[in-house]
Amino acid sequence: MKVSLIQMNIAWASPEQNRKTAEEAIKSAPGSDLYVLPEMWSTGFATQPDGIAESENSESLEWMKRMAASTSAAIAGSLAVQCADGSFRNRFYFVKPSGEVTYYDKHHLFTYGGEHLRYKAGEEKVIVEWAGVRFRLIVCYDLRFPGWARNHEDYDVLLCVASWPTPRVEAWRTLLRARAIENQCYVCGVNRIGNDPNCEYCGGTAFIDPYGNAEEAQKNAAGTITSMIDLTALNAFRAKFPVLKDRD
């Protein structure tokens, strides 16, 4: 499976502009089976979501559906969403070309930045299968909690989207590798670049194999990493060296 990870500069609270940026990035990397966008890719990381968060049936979600259909690929990324009951969710969507939508609501809200004050945490772990590959969905701060991301031999790829600031980017890089090695899986980590009202972001988007080898995007630059998920190689590695069988 060919996967493209999109490292983009997110314009603050500007969904239309960000949809255009994302569409250009996707079109610049044709032929992938999955395109992954960062956390809150349409607005930036909005801890004060009033007037910024989009509806559950937003134009950004409809755009994801149209792009999935037109590219015959899945499109993934999180949005700041206001639900019908008025609550806010950091919702990671995985949209298939058929129009089928699966989502995961971020479980570990970023208390240091006040995300927990306005958003409601999700409680369900979510795994979605696409083209024979099983993807576990997590968002940003979730990456720091290995128990939440633990592989119980039920996924092949850990998909993490983020708005991870520059001062802590080395933690991001290290944790991505740790999750790949300990869970004997591929890890796709997609981070943004640019600035919002609170933070600066330098990227660090990476595709990591089960051995911890990483292909990383250029620092402070918009760009796309395209790599291959090799299930045959992954399953052979797991059969030869069955680490997950000995997990706690």
Residue tagged 């983009």 (tokens): 8
Residue 81 host element (H or E): strand 74-82
Q: Which of 182, 164, 197, 150 is nearest to 78 (CA)?
A: 164
Residue 86 lies in a domain: yes
Domain count, the chain: 1
Q: Note whether residue 232 is domain-resident.
A: yes
218: in domain: yes
Of these residues, 65, 106, 160, 185, which one is catalytic? Answer: 106
Give strand pairing partners of 2. 228
* Token pair recorded at residue 173: 């890089």
Residue 245 lies in a domain: no
For 36-74, how does the pLDDT look when each residue is reduced to its tens digit (9 = 90+)? 999 999 999 999 999 999 999 999 999 999 999 999 999
Q: Of residues 65, 96, 140, 188, which has the active-site annotation?
A: 140
For residue 154, CA distances in Å to 158, 179, 181, 225 come to 11, 15, 16, 25
pTM over 0.95: yes
Per the structure, the complete domain to which residue 61 belongs is given by: 2-240
Q: DSSP string of 125-148?
A: --EEEETTEEEEEEEGGGGG-TTT
pLDDT at 117: 97
Q: Whole-angstrom Cα distance, residue 228 to residue 24?
A: 21
Q: What is the 3-state secondary structure (H, E, C) of 214-234?
A: EEECCCCCCEEEEEECCHHHH
pLDDT at 126: 98
Six-digit token pair at 178? 């740790």
| CATH number for the domain that contains residue 134 | 3.60.110.10
> Is there a domain that residue 248 lies in?
no
Task: Judge whether 106 counts as a catalytic residue.
Answer: yes
What is the C-alpha separation between 246 and 15, in angstroms, rounded?
Answer: 45
Q: Is residue 102 part of a domain?
A: yes
Q: Which is it for the CA torsion 57, 72, 25, 4, positive or negative? A: positive
At residue 33, the 3 state secondary structure works out as coil
Pairing of strands 54-55, 74-82: parallel
| Domain-embedded: residue 246 | no
Q: Given this model, what pLDDT does residue 56 score?
A: 96
Q: Which of 39, 65, 96, 188 is the catalytic position?
A: 39
**Has residue 199 been placed in a domain?**
yes
- Note the pLDDT of residue 215: 98
The contacts of residue 107 (CB under 8 Å, 6+ apart) are: 121, 122, 123, 125, 138, 142, 148
Amino acid at 245: K
- 76-125 pLDDT, tens per residue? 999 999 999 999 999 999 999 999 999 999 999 999 999 999 999 999 99
| DSSP character at residue 212 | S
Tell me whether residue 140 is one of the annotated catalytic residues. yes
- Establish whether 199 is a catalytic residue: no
H/E run at residue 66: helix 59-71
Indicate the pLDDT class of residue 29, thresholds 50, 70 and 90: very high
